[in-house]
Each structure stands twice: as C-alpha cells, then as structure tokens.
Amino acid sequence: MAAPLKYYRVQDDSSATHFDEENGFFAGDIQLQLRMFSPRDRAEERNLSNALGRHLNWSNRTPSPFISVYADLDTAVNSAVARVKDGKREVFIAYIDVGVEGIGDVWYRYVPKVAEEVGLRIQRQALGNSKQEFVFLHHIPAGAITKYRAF
C-alpha cells in the first residue's frame, strides 16, 4: 500500500497520546529510538517488533513511541462513535495532511507492512482496523492538522 498524505487520528480523554493544539500529538514514549525503515541488524529489528507489538496490544499500558492513525475516514468515524458508546469523553478526529509544507520531518509506516517485515502477528481483535492503520513515530506536528471533528 502506497502511503497516502492524509490521515485521521481519533483521540479521547483517556488516550495515551498527548495532544495540544499548539504542538500537535506526542506519543507516550518520545525517548525510545527506533529505526522505522530497514533495521540494520537483528537487535534493531527486535526493538521495532517489540515496540510495535506492545503498541498493538490493547491491554498493554506501557507508553508507546507510536501514534496510531487511520488512512480511511470511515474507519476513524466508526472508531470515534465506538469510543463515545464506550463512555469516552472529549472524543474527536484530527484530520492530518503530511503534505503540508513546513511541518518538518515526520516518520510513519503502514502497520501490516511493518508487522510483516519484523515477523509480528497482529492480534485478532486489532486485525480489522489495522488494515487502515499507520503509525507515526513520536510526534505529529500541529502544522499537519488541518481540521478537527468533535463527537
């Protein structure tokens, strides 16, 4: 799957990802250094696999270096609606455009592709959404956010 330029981040009051309108989104763990593309050795590949595996494990509460987004608006809307039904508050979708000039470097990858490369099996409960899921490493700058939609 070729990486699109537009993504959708679903956020609520219990999200591990920190958000503020001035700076954008920050992952729970911005210290862990990972090589997202072409790990140089088995150790780097294992680090990426372990970090992504923890991130995709919905029961894991360890801060992640990743920020999940969807490449499909319908998937994001369905996720936002489900969060509201689950009693989450302050639910919104941020529309993200990585083609915006001047946002600096952003690192992101398609989840199924990374999982395949590092030999990670995606848990059954996450399989449906993962088909539209990308992960950003550490940060999504506010300048890349073009719109908000509250639920």
pLDDT in tens, 15-46: 999 999 999 999 999 999 998 887 788 889 89
Strand partners, 18: 26
Q: Any idea what the Cα angle at residue 50 is, between residues 69 and 111, rounded to 5°? A: 30
C-beta separation of 151 from 79 below 8 A: no
| Per-domain boundaries in the chain | 6-150
Confidence band (pLDDT; 50, 70, 90) for 126? low
**DSSP string for residues in 54-75:** HHH-TT--S--SEEEEES-HHH
Q: Structure pTM?
A: 0.92
Q: Is the pLDDT of residue 2 over 70?
A: no
